[in-house]
């Protein structure tokens, strides 16, 4: 935590972010704030820039202009302390990206051991409790290849939680799963949100967004077209683009 | 050209670096002939090995079990024995046996001929595997779809199988052909007058081993480098987006 | 009468009671053997060699009462192990292949890592070195290093002789280094970028990511092409005979010169080639098996 940040300020603050891949501008001036403990959902058609935005928050992609601050730490600087950023921010990916040559519990333990340099006993105890938390007790010694998609995704969530982040980013984490397994992952995220974790989800699961989201943002072609709390957003969307998108999905 | 020759003469006087091929008529001529021999030896071997590869792939798909076994034997033999020994085997042993058999004195073919024979069969063995893999990589469902559309067997091969198979083969084939060009240097061992052999003659005459060795190395890097570049251009030009790599 | 499936009346193996040690070699097994690719191949090879050797022997007018087979056996110790008191022969070929492979693999690993380095200078330099040694003919490299490396190294007061085969081994390790570098680069590139992303998100450094996450996954995919290069290297070791090293090839030629009879040419060359074959073929088969196994697990 930086000294200048206090919980009454936004935990993630995005100001006028522009991002291009070569000549193609993907984010054209995105701004919004996220308060601690909020669950925000970003929805929109493919290519609208939502995954890119999430990746920029975690400095996996750089931005051409604008500012992103996480707990007061500015991401868009040349000398970014990446370790400090990634201790604050945890990310879960659509393709789980577990390390296939390590067991589930080793996946969860690796980063705290090697990056945070915590003691093995501490790390193992916490890893076991995290695996229990994502309801995968008994699967600690399974390799990712032996787990189903939903199970792998839950291990991925546990792995990110092991770093004790303050913000969790979810990049379309259920998009690659069968409908039956989607539920188990959503339940895990719901529990996290209920405990007060600040979550930013890029998702297609409208029902889920309605259920746990505090604020919904709709992006299209690199800008935030409309946003609002789920109650008003889904029923009284004003912009025609939003309405068209929602009518196709719902 | 005169100034080039003069500069290299100066190099010899001033620094003792004897690059005679630049200023000596005889050396230059025979060196260039050697390079030319390498080039056309490579060319002939490449063509012959491709023909052998195609024939071999076709034979390998024969319904006759013993034909397939003999092909497997041929491939296993040429892939698991050293090319240099194969070359000596052909040039000394086989030539001598056949000459004796037919009563021909002085050998059946020149060293160049046997080099082509040995190297072509060597590369042909690898090419057979490559072509076979390429043909098998064309999904059966694709050829079945063509059949359902009424294509004849030959038309299927010409319009469907061959274009797809050859794109799959091409990287491995190019690799093999480049290796073949590098392998032509073994012809040195049976006195084929290619680049390395001629250079050896030159440095024996002129006592300029380091200079000639560097020249030879550079010449081969350039030859092979140009070939690699051409192959890359070719692969890029025929690439179908989304198919293969 | 309904037909009854009972174990006395069936040819289905699963219906028959299990009798340990009662396995007999029956017609089905012979059929299996006859269609087995490996057996057929080995048989074909043996038959061909036998025919050639016999025909060569049949033409022979023996002056010393020596058959072809006896000649082969007589020269085998020399061809295999080298002259008395010296280290050479086919065994030298194998030793050279081991050392060159080990040295080349070690250097190639670092060169391959260099090729993927974020430092532009290192990556371009590594690429250049890789291309240089990939595109050079092996015989040219042998000539280059054997003729231009010193014959003696002076350390302090002592003069150490650098033997021919040591220089040859070094020269052969260079193209291996280049090809291993390519294998390493290729296999690193084949790891999905998601692995890099998730490692980065967990705040691993690039070194940690490379050594703990990426490279362990690469090893499996590197083994088949690496073994393939070992076979190619072994098949290239006879080149050192051209530069005067007393390896199996050179000694075979010496033996043939000593005998002086053209009837021994085919058998002796075949004899030498069969040693290479027997050494290399199992390795090639194992490589093929590993390739299939690793491909399936991908």
Residues in chain B: 245
Give the pLDDT band (50/70/90) at residue B142: confident
Q: Is A93 helix (H, G, I), strand (E, B) or coil?
A: coil
Structural contact between residues B111 and B183, judged by C-beta atoms closer than 8 angstroms: no
Whole-number pLDDT of residue A1: 45
Mean pLDDT of B119-126: 94
Whole-number pLDDT of residue A158: 95
Task: Give the span between the Cα atoms of C251 and C241, in whole angstroms.
Answer: 9
Q: Give chain B's mean pLDDT.
A: 87
- Bridge-partner residues for A202, per DSSP? A42, A171
Q: How many beta carbons lie within 10 A of that of residue C26, not counting itself?
A: 8
Q: What is the pTM of this model?
A: 0.82
- Among B96-110, B140-154, C12-26, the minimum mean pLDDT is found in C12-26
Helical residues (DSSP H) of chain B, grouped into ranges: 2-15, 20-23, 25-60, 65-79, 83-88, 95-102, 111-137, 140-148, 153-155, 162-183, 195-206, 209-237
Whole-number pLDDT of residue C30: 54
Structural contact between residues B54 and B131, judged by C-beta atoms closer than 8 angstroms: yes
Give CA separation, C207 vs A106, A120, C16, C113, C116, in Å: 19, 21, 60, 11, 12
C148 inside 8 A of chain B by CB: yes
Chains that touch A (3 or more CB pairs under 8 A): C
Contact C139 B185 (CB under 8 A): yes
The CATH class of C63-297 is mainly alpha
DSSP classification of residue C9:
S
H or E stretch at A247? helix A240-249
Domain locations along chain A: 12-249
Spell out the residues 6+ positions from residue C57 whose beta carbon is closer than 8 angstroms to its own: C67, C68, C69, C263, C267
Give CA separation, B82 vs B77, C27, C274, in Å: 10, 39, 10
Q: How many beta carbons lie within 10 A of that of residue A172, not counting itself?
A: 20
Q: What backbone torsions phi and psi does residue C176 show, to the nearest 5 degrees?
A: -65, -45
Mean pLDDT of C214-229: 92
C190 inside 8 A of chain A by CB: no
Indicate the residue of C200, C208, C216 with minimum beta-carbon distance to A60.
Answer: C200
Mean pLDDT of B77-81: 92
Mean pLDDT of A227-237: 87
Mean pLDDT of C36-61: 67
Nearest residue in chain C measured CA to CA from A59 = C201
Contact C200 A160 (CB under 8 A): no
pLDDT tens for C150-171 read: 887 778 778 888 888 999 999 9
Spell out the residues 6+ positions from residue B154 whose beta carbon is closer than 8 angstroms to its own: none
Most confident of the ranges A230-244, B166-180, B210-224, C34-48 = B210-224
- % of chain A at pLDDT higher than 70: 98
Please give the torsion angle defined by the CA atoms of residues A146, A152, A156 and A158, in that order, rounded to the nearest 10 degrees: -90
C37 inside 8 A of chain B by CB: yes
H or E stretch at C114? helix C89-115
Task: Give the span between the Cα atoms of C112 and C36, in whole angstroms.
Answer: 40
Structural contact between residues B227 and B184, judged by C-beta atoms closer than 8 angstroms: no
Spell out the residues 6+ positions from residue A207 whose beta carbon is closer than 8 angstroms to its own: none
Whole-number pLDDT of residue B244: 55
Q: Please, what's the b/e burial string for A103-138 (b: 16 or more CB within 10 A of its CB; e: otherwise)?
A: bbbbbbbbbbbbbbebeeeebbebbbebbebbebee
Q: What backbone torsions phi and psi does residue C207 show, to the nearest 5 degrees?
A: -65, -45
Q: How many CB pairs under 8 A join A and C?
A: 54
Residues in chain A: 250
Structural contact between residues B134 and B169, judged by C-beta atoms closer than 8 angstroms: yes
Shortest CA gap C214–chain B (Å):
21
Nearest residue in chain C measured CA to CA from A60 = C197
pLDDT tens for A76-97 read: 998 888 889 999 999 999 998 9
Nearest residue in chain B measured CA to CA from C252 = B85
Mean pLDDT of A112-129: 93
Helical residues (DSSP H) of C116-247, grouped into ranges: 120-134, 138-148, 164-189, 193-201, 206-208, 215-236
C200 inside 8 A of chain A by CB: yes
Task: Give the span between the Cα atoms of C252 and C272, in whole angstroms.
Answer: 8
H or E stretch at C160? strand C158-161
Shortest CA gap A175–chain C (Å):
15
CA A179 from centroid of its chain's CA atoms = 20
Whole-number pLDDT of residue C298: 47
Task: Give the span between the Cα atoms of B101 and A163, in whole angstroms.
Answer: 81
Task: Give the span between the Cα atoms of C143 and C149, in whole angstroms.
Answer: 10
Give CA separation, A132 vs A113, A165, A184, C104, in Å: 19, 18, 14, 48
Contact B76 C241 (CB under 8 A): no
This model of the complex carries an ipTM of: 0.88
- Bridge-partner residues for A15, per DSSP? A67
Contact C137 B182 (CB under 8 A): yes
Task: Give the span between the Cα atoms of C238 and C172, in whole angstroms.
Answer: 11
Mean pLDDT of C170-188: 95
- Bridge-partner residues for A220, per DSSP? A223
Give the pLDDT band (50/70/90) at residue B161: confident
Nearest to C41 by CA among B66, B59, B63: B66
Domain locations along chain B: 2-237
Q: Give chain C's mean pLDDT.
A: 84
Task: Give the span between the Cα atoms of B140 and B161, in whole angstroms.
Answer: 10
Mean pLDDT of C4-11: 60
Q: Which region holds residue C197: left if phi is over 0, alpha if psi is between -120 and 50, else beta?
A: alpha
The larger pLDDT score, comparing residue C169 to residue C148, is at C169
Q: Which region holds residue C218: left if phi is over 0, alpha if psi is between -120 and 50, else beta?
A: alpha
Which residues of A98-166 form beta strands (DSSP E)?
Answer: none
The CATH class of A12-249 is alpha beta
Q: Which residues in chain B have Cβ-Cβ distances shorter than 8 Å to C35?
A: 65
Structural contact between residues A224 and A217, judged by C-beta atoms closer than 8 angstroms: yes
Chains that touch C (3 or more CB pairs under 8 A): A, B
pLDDT tens for B22-37 read: 878 888 899 999 999 9
Indicate the residue of A58, A98, A114 with minimum beta-carbon distance to C212.
Answer: A114
Task: Give the span between the Cα atoms of C28 and C13, in whole angstroms.
Answer: 12
| Overall fold of domain B2-237 | MetI-like fold (1.10.3720)
Give the pLDDT band (50/70/90) at residue B201: very high
Task: Give the span between the Cα atoms of B181 and C52, in whole angstroms.
Answer: 31
B209 inside 8 A of chain C by CB: yes
Residues in chain C: 298
Q: How many CB pairs under 8 A join B and C?
A: 128
Task: Give the span between the Cα atoms of C169 and C146, in whole angstroms.
Answer: 10
Q: How many beta carbons lie within 10 A of that of residue A2, not counting itself?
A: 12
Task: Give the span between the Cα atoms of B140 and B137, in whole angstroms.
Answer: 9
pLDDT tens for A186-224 read: 999 999 999 999 999 999 888 888 888 999 999 989 999
Contact C253 B88 (CB under 8 A): yes
Mean pLDDT of C198-226: 92
Q: What backbone torsions phi and psi does residue B194 show, to the nearest 5 degrees?
A: -95, -175
Whole-number pLDDT of residue B245: 46
- Bridge-partner residues for A20, per DSSP? A25
Shortest CA gap B185–chain C (Å):
6
Shortest CA gap B197–chain C (Å):
11
Rg of chain A, C-alpha, whole Å: 18
Nearest residue in chain B measured CA to CA from C272 = B85
Domain locations along chain C: 63-297
Q: Is B83 helix (H, G, I), strand (E, B) or coil?
A: helix
Nearest residue in chain C measured CA to CA from B88 = C269
**Residue B43 pLDDT exceeds 50:** yes
**Residue C295 pLDDT exceeds 80:** no
**Residue A249 pLDDT exceeds 60:** yes
The larger pLDDT score, comparing residue C183 to residue C10, is at C183
Which residues of A5-164 form beta strands (DSSP E)?
Answer: 12-21, 24-34, 39-43, 65-70, 73-74, 89-92
C32 inside 8 A of chain B by CB: no
Structural contact between residues B96 and C265, judged by C-beta atoms closer than 8 angstroms: yes
Give CA separation, A142 vs A177, B57, C106, in Å: 19, 44, 33
Whether the CA torsion B179, B185, B187, B190 is positive or negative: it is: negative
């Amino acid at each position: 935590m930086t000294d200048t940040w206090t919980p009454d300020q936004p935990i993630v603050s995005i100001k006028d972010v522009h991002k291009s891949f070569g000549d193609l501008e993907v984010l054209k001036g995105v701004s919004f704030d996220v308060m601690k403990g909020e669950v925000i959902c970003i929805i929109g058609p493919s290519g609208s820039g939502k995954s890119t935005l999430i990746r920029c928050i975690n400095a996996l992609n750089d931005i051409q202009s604008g500012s992103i601050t996480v707990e007061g730490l500015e991401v868009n600087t040349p000398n970014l302390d990446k370790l400090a950023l990634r201790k604050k921010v945890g990310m879960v990916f659509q393709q789980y990206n577990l390390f296939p040559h390590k067991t589930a519990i080793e996946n969860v333990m690796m980063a705290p051991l090697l990056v945070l340099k915590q003691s093995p006993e501490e790390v193992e105890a916490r890893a076991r409790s995290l695996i229990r938390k994502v309801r995968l007790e008994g699967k600690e010694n399974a390799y990712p290849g032996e787990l189903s998609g939903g199970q792998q995704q839950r291990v991925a969530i546990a792995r990110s939680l092991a770093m004790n982040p303050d913000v969790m980013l979810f990049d379309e984490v259920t998009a690659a799963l069968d409908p039956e397994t989607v539920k188990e992952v959503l339940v895990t995220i719901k529990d996290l949100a209920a405990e007060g974790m600040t979550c930013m989800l890029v998702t297609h699961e409208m029902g889920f967004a309605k259920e746990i989201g505090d604020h919904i943002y709709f992006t299209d072609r690199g800008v935030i077209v409309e946003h609002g709390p789920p109650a008003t957003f889904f029923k009284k969307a004003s912009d025609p683009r939003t309405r068209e998108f929602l009518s196709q999905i719902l | 050209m005169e100034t080039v020759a003069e500069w290299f003469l100066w190099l010899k006087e001033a620094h003792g670096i004897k690059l005679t091929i630049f200023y000596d008529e005889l050396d230059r001529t025979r060196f260039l002939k050697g390079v030319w021999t390498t080039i056309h030896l490579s060319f002939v071997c490449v063509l012959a090995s491709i023909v052998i590869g195609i024939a071999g792939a076709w034979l390998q798909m024969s319904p006759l079990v013993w034909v397939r076994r003999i092909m497997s034997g041929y491939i296993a033999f040429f892939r698991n024995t050293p090319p240099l020994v194969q070359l000596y085997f052909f040039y000394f042993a086989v030539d001598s046996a056949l000459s004796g058999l037919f009563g021909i004195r002085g050998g059946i073919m020149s060293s160049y001929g046997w080099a082509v024979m040995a190297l072509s069969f060597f590369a042909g063995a690898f090419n057979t595997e490559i072509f076979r893999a390429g043909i098998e990589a064309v999904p059966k469902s694709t050829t079945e779809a063509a059949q359902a559309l009424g294509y004849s067997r030959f038309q299927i091969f010409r319009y469907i199988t061959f274009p797809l198979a050859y794109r799959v083969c091409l990287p491995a084939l190019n690799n093999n052909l480049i290796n073949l060009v590098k392998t032509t240097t073994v012809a040195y061992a049976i006195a084929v007058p290619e680049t390395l052999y001629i250079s050896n003659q030159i440095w024996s005459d002129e006592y300029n081993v380091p200079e000639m060795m560097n020249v030879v190395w550079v010449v081969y890097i350039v030859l092979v480098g140009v070939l690699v570049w051409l192959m890359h251009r070719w692969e890029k030009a025929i690439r179908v987006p989304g198919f293969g790599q | 009468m309904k037909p009854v499936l009972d174990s006395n009346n069936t040819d289905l193996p699963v219906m028959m009671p299990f009798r340990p040690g009662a396995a007999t070699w029956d017609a089905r097994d012979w059929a299996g053997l006859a269609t087995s690719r490996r057996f057929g191949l080995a048989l074909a090879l043996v038959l061909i060699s036998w025919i050639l050797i016999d025909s060569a022997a049949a033409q022979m007018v023996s002056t010393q009462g020596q058959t072809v087979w006896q000649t082969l056996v007589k020269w085998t110790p020399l061809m295999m192990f080298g002259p008395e008191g010296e280290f050479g022969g086919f065994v030298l070929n194998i030793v050279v292949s081991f050392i060159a492979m080990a040295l080349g693999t070690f250097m190639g690993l670092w060169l391959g890592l260099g090729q993927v380095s974020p430092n532009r200078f290192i990556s371009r330099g590594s690429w250049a070195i890789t291309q240089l040694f990939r595109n050079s003919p092996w015989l040219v490299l042998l000539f280059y290093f054997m003729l231009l490396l010193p014959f003696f190294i002076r350390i302090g007061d002592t003069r150490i002789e650098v033997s021919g085969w040591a220089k040859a081994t070094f020269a052969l390790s260079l193209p291996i280094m280049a090809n291993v570098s390519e294998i390493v680069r290729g296999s690193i590139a084949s790891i999905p970028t998601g692995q890099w992303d998730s490692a980065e998100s967990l705040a691993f450094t690039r070194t940690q990511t490379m050594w703990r996450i990426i490279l362990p996954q690469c090893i499996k995919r590197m083994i088949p092409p690496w073994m393939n290069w070992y076979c190619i290297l072994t098949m290239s070791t006879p080149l050192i005979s051209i530069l005067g090293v007393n390896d199996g090839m050179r000694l075979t030629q010496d033996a043939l010169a000593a005998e002086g009879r053209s009837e021994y040419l085919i058998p002796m060359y075949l004899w030498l080639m069969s040693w290479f074959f027997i050494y290399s073929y199992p390795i090639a088969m194992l490589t093929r098996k590993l390739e299939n196994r690793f491909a399936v697990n991908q």
